[in-house]
Amino acid sequence: MEQEDTKEAGFIGRWFGFAGWKAMSARARILTQIVYRVFFLLGLAAIIIGYGTVTGSDPGGLALIGMVGIWFLLFQAMVNFVFIEGSR
């Protein structure tokens, strides 16, 4: 039997940890999981299209990696607040 970690997560773990995905995997229906993952991809596509519109060129290399990283962190924070902080 696994023991639950009763220690409160720090700022980084609370905002950007994987607790939201774990809770979603355990509690949410498959359709909900698919919707959130599609939303992640649509948000990433919007960021890439927005970058191309503003700069007039396709993102490459470091810019693309930065966009993916920043969107992942923002999306991770949103998922954590919906599934972890929102349920308290």
User: Is the sign of the CA dihedral 6, 34, 82, 79 positive or negative?
Assistant: positive
Over residues 77-82, the mean pLDDT reads 78
The residue assigned the tokens 């991809």 is 41
Q: Is 19 inside any structural domain?
A: no
Q: Is 14 inside any structural domain?
A: no
What span, in angstroms and rounded, lies between the C-alpha atoms of 7 and 82? Answer: 20
Q: Is 17 inside any structural domain?
A: no
Total structural domains in the chain? 1
pLDDT tens digits along 12-66: 666 666 666 666 666 667 777 788 889 999 999 999 999 989 988 878 889 899 9
What span, in angstroms and rounded, lies between the C-alpha atoms of 66 and 50? Answer: 14
Asked if pLDDT for residue 4 goes beyond 60, the answer is: no
pTM given for the model: 0.64
| Domain containing residue 49 | 26-80
Asked if pLDDT for residue 7 goes beyond 70, the answer is: no
